[in-house]
Chains A and B, each alone.
Chain A
Amino acid sequence: MRFKWWHGALIFALFLAVLSPLASSSPDGLERIAEDKGFMETAREAFFEAIPDYMVPGIKSEAVATILAGLIGTLLVFAIGYSLARLLKAKGEA
């Protein structure tokens, strides 16, 4: 298979996922406001958990758990986006 431009782009996205343990762990804008304005406690837990907090459960190292979660998510989102586009093209031509 010839190397195409988007292979490079996908590798770049996976590289970003590997950097994910370096991300700031401070609350984001909405979480900060929810804490400051006192409505954080109204948040409800999810009904089920798969990979909560972007960390694959059962792995001791937080960095490894985060990188794995990032790689899984990046590949999953790529597969869904690519398949959706291919499906749409096929439907458009039908």
Chain B
Amino acid sequence: MHIPDGFISAPVATVGCVVAGGSVAYAVKATKKKMGEKQIPLMGVLAAFIFAAQMLNFPIAGGTSGHFVGAALAAILLGPWRGILIMTCVLVVQCLVFQDGGLFALGVNILNMGIIASFVAYHIYRGSALFGEGRKRKLIGGGLAAWFSVAIASVACAFELAISGTVPLKIALPAMAGIHALIGIGEGLITAAVLNLIMATRADLLELQKA
């Protein structure tokens, strides 16, 4: 879902940069007082895992592929603000070093795959706590949160393309939401699998997002 330069108009790109810049600045402010010793390596390895996993495109229907985004996993483990910082690290390196996602579009890509995806996932995951606290609930809640994070981010992307005048909304919206409803299943399964692994080995790491 990395938007290259050219797909979005200058005003949309500018709004994206302002929103992303403001959010990252706030995330820095909000997280620096609550950075514990355990969070430091976790921020590094989560960013590394998300970058590597994003390279592994998996095939979905009709000669199309999808890849893991990772914002849901980051937000569930470390909260939405640290999730935004982790996704920003990944997206900036992808943009500057690997030319994946345009330079002008960087703000919009951070908005979609960092900010929107992190907040959607975090709130759905926290909301799922209303249905109990068990291991199964956490896995289902995490998987659903991950699916929605990709689906809603793709809807945001469709609106950005439409507002930019690149493609009409009535074409972009069903196409983006349809394909990413499938890609989101992969996101949900990977997120649940990683959460399952963490619960089996280091369950204490799941408590860090409350800090």
Contact partner of A54 (CB less than 8 A), chosen from B31, B42, B100, B175, is: B100
Q: Interface centre among B5, B64, B92, B201, by most A CB within 10 Å?
A: B64
Contact at A10–B32, with CB atoms within 8 Å?
A: no
- Among the listed stretches B14-22, B43-51, B122-130, B131-139, which one makes contact with chain A, having 4 or more residues with CB under 8 Å of it? B43-51
Q: Which of A17, A27, A44, A89 contacts B55 (CB 8 A)?
A: A17
Apart from A5-B202, A28-B66, A75-B48, what are 9 other A-B pairs with CB-CB below 8 Å? Answer: A25-B57, A27-B64, A28-B65, A29-B180, A32-B64, A33-B175, A42-B166, A44-B102, A77-B47
Counting chain A residues whose Cβ lies within 8 A of the other chain, the interface size class is: 35 or more
Instruction: Give complex CA distance A54, B57 in Å.
Output: 12
Among A16, A43, A74, A81, the residue within 8 A (CB) of B7 is A43
Residue A59 at the chain B interface, CB threshold 8 Å? no
Binary per-residue interface labels of chain A (48-90) against chain B in the complex, 1 for a CB within 8 Å, 0 otherwise: 0111111000000000001001101111111111101110110
Indicate whether B145 reaches chain A with its CB closer than 8 angstroms. Answer: no
Q: Does chain B have a CB within 8 A of A2?
A: no
| Residues on A facing B (Cβ under 8 Å) | 4-6, 9-10, 12-14, 16-17, 19-20, 22-30, 32-34, 36-37, 39, 42-44, 46-47, 49-54, 66, 69-70, 72-82, 84-86, 88-89, 91-92
**Contact among B41, B55, B56, B65 for A6, CB-based, below 8 A:** B41
Determine whether the beta carbon of A30 is less than 8 Å from that of B44: no
A39-B7, A73-B97 given as contacts; is B103 within 8 A of A16 (CB)? no
Closest chain-A Cβ to B101's Cβ sits at a distance in Å of: 10
A51 to chain B, nearest CB (A): 5
Q: Which 7 A-B pairs have the closest CB atoms?
A: A82-B44, A81-B47, A92-B32, A78-B48, A89-B35, A6-B41, A85-B43
Would A49 and B99 count as touching, CB distance under 8 A? yes
* Contact between chains at A81 and B32 (CB < 8 Å): no
Q: How far is the CA of A27 from the CA of B124 in the complex (A)?
A: 29
- Complex CA–CA separation, A82 to B38 (angstroms): 11
Which chain A residues lie closer than 8 Å to B53 at the CB level? 13, 16
Please give the distance in Å from A55's CB to the nearest CB on chain B.
9
The residue of chain B having its C-beta at the shortest distance from the C-beta of A78 within the complex is B48
Question: Residue on A with the closest CB to B201?
Answer: A5
